[in-house]
């Protein structure tokens, strides 16, 4: 009855000077919560303590200092949703006012893991409050953020992003979860930018130094692992989908200049690799599987610069890949039937691999490139020129691609474009 009375009074109390708002009251409520065997009494006690903490956070800080953060979070183990919600609320309210206790919690990975496990709760409110507490724990602590990402924080975030909609059965709860998710997403976006800046700064400090100083080595060891946080975010399916649908603006997170530089650098790396045929050959399958599809998509970019860049890279890559295919076919035709069976077996296996890669290339051209190729030929200069160069590169070494282009609808446009260029050349 006393706990219920405190709960009711603390709901209406807003003045820190009230005689009930004391650390002794907080300790008594915590004792009642941890020692009572009646669930209703436990819920009432922790609810009253949580409400008192909203008025004066020092009430719960005193409990944390007496029992330790581990004992506090241990109280959530096996507890019901209402108990978890009250503990999460009290913990977040108290930690907002004490960086010392915040540091104690983040130093213990087990404690952080207990909060992460609350994200598995079927209760929407519990998950929302857990997201809020996690945001407090990861603020200015990228290593705690890295630990959370390694323990499926992004997965839980994705799941609740799909579920958190005001059209659910309980709009008020879904709306609260949406607000908590929005806060966390905004923070993660800004943190990703800071992590990239810190990593670049750490790397720039050792450029040209064969033997970094002790301080620089320490900084590298502390900073470089956090780049995995950015990878986790970019690997998020919802995050990628939002980028493709223009719901996420990378330029706002990285800055327009940094975003363009990232694209330019990435494409430059691919271009350099494409010019080293001895590097492409042993990794043919990886190039066909992982590099060609996104390049093919980027060829139709609204940016003339990126489109031209990609068409140039595709010309080089198609030359390397299709020349290998052509050489493999010629070698098969010239094979002597009297060669040893071992050589025949090895060549057959290589043929199967090359054939598979060739089929993937043909499928990519058929589904992604050729149906939209006419738009490249009619695009602003100099895109048509590089589109023609790519056609030449593809048709020089593959009869199958020649047949595909022959049956496509782009030949009239190619002839028209060629005639216009010839006339322009004669006039000049």
From the list 146, 256, 261, 161, the residue with the least C-alpha distance to 192 is 146
Query: Taking the alpha carbons of 49, 54, 56, 58 in that order, is the dihedral positive or negative?
Result: positive
In angstroms, rounded to a whole number, what is the distance separating the alpha carbons of residues 246 and 68?
Answer: 46
pLDDT, residue 308, reads 92
pLDDT, residue 174, reads 61
In angstroms, rounded to a whole number, what is the distance separating the alpha carbons of residues 347 and 323?
Answer: 17
In tens digits, the chain (428 residues) has pLDDT values of 676 776 666 666 555 546 667 788 888 888 888 888 888 888 888 888 888 888 888 888 888 888 888 888 887 777 788 889 999 999 998 888 888 888 888 888 888 999 999 999 999 999 999 999 999 999 888 889 999 998 999 999 988 887 765 444 555 556 888 889 989 988 988 888 888 888 888 878 877 776 778 888 888 888 878 878 877 776 665 554 444 445 444 454 445 665 576 567 667 767 877 887 887 888 888 888 888 888 888 888 888 888 999 999 999 888 888 765 555 554 444 444 344 444 444 444 444 455 567 778 888 888 888 888 889 988 888 899 999 999 888 888 778 888 888 887 888 888 888 887 666 655 55
Say how many Å lie between the first and final Cα of the chain, rounded. 99
Task: Answer whether 395's CB lies under 8 Å from 315's CB.
Answer: no
Task: Determine the Cα angle at 378 with ends 377 and 381, to 5°.
Answer: 85
- Rounded to 10 degrees, the C-alpha dihedral 227/230/236/242 comes to -160
From the list 332, 321, 318, 328, the residue with the least C-alpha distance to 283 is 321
DSSP secondary-structure letter at 367?
I
From the list 309, 175, 306, 154, the residue with the least C-alpha distance to 240 is 154
In angstroms, rounded to a whole number, what is the distance separating the alpha carbons of residues 268 and 369?
Answer: 21
In angstroms, rounded to a whole number, what is the distance separating the alpha carbons of residues 199 and 229?
Answer: 12
Task: Answer whether 87's CB lies under 8 Å from 52's CB.
Answer: no
DSSP secondary-structure letter at 57?
T
Supply φ then ψ for residue 411, to 5 degrees.
Answer: -60, -45
Please state, as a whole number, how many other Cβ atoms lie within 10 Å of the Cβ of residue 302. 7
Supply φ then ψ for residue 351, to 5 degrees.
Answer: -60, -40
Let me know if domain 2-207+214-243 sits in CATH 1.25.10.10: yes
Query: Domain residue spans in the chain?
Result: 2-207+214-243, 256-333+365-427
């Amino acid at each position: 009855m006393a706990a219920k009375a405190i709960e009711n009074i603390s709901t209406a109390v807003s003045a820190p000077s009230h005689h009930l708002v004391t650390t002794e009251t907080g300790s008594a409520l915590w004792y009642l919560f941890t020692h009572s065997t009646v669930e209703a009494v436990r819920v009432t006690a922790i609810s009253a303590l949580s409400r008192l903490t909203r008025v004066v956070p020092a009430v719960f800080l005193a409990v944390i200092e007496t029992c330790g953060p581990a004992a506090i979070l241990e109280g959530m183990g096996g507890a019901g949703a209402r108990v978890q919600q009250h503990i999460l609320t009290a913990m977040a309210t108290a930690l907002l006012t004490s960086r010392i206790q915040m540091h104690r919690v983040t130093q213990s990975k087990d404690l952080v893991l207990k909060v992460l496990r609350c994200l598995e709760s079927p209760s929407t409110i519990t998950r929302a409050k857990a997201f809020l507490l996690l945001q407090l724990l990861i603020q200015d602590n990228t290593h705690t953020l890295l630990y959370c990402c390694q323990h499926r924080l992004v997965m839980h975030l994705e799941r609740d992003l799909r579920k958190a909609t005001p059209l659910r059965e309980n709009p008020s709860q879904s709306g609260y979860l949406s607000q908590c998710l929005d806060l966390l997403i905004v923070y993660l976006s800004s943190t990703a930018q800071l992590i990239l800046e810190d990593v670049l700064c750490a790397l720039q400090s050792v450029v040209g130094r064969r033997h970094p100083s002790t301080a620089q080595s320490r900084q590298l060891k502390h900073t470089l692992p956090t780049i995995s946080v950015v990878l986790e975010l970019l690997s998020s399916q919802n995050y990628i989908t939002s980028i493709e649908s223009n719901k996420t603006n990378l330029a706002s997170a990285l800055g327009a200049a940094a975003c363009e530089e990232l694209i330019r650098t990435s494409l430059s790396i691919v271009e350099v690799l494409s010019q080293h045929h001895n590097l492409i050959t042993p990794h043919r399958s990886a190039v066909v599987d992982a590099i060609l599809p996104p390049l093919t998509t980027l060829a139709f970019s609204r940016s003339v610069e990126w489109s031209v860049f990609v068409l140039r890279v595709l010309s080089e890559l198609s030359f390397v890949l299709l020349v290998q295919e052509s050489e493999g076919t010629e070698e098969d035709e010239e094979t002597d039937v009297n060669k040893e069976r071992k050589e025949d077996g090895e060549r057959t296996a290589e043929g199967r691999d090359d054939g598979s890669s060739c089929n993937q290339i043909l499928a990519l051209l058929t589904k992604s490139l050729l149906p939209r190729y006419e738009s490249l030929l009619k695009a602003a200069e100099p895109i048509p020129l590089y589109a023609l160069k790519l056609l030449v590169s593809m048709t020089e070494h593959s009869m199958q691609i020649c047949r595909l282009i022959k049956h496509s609808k782009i030949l009239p446009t190619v002839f028209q474009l060629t005639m216009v260029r010839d006339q322009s050349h004669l006039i000049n």
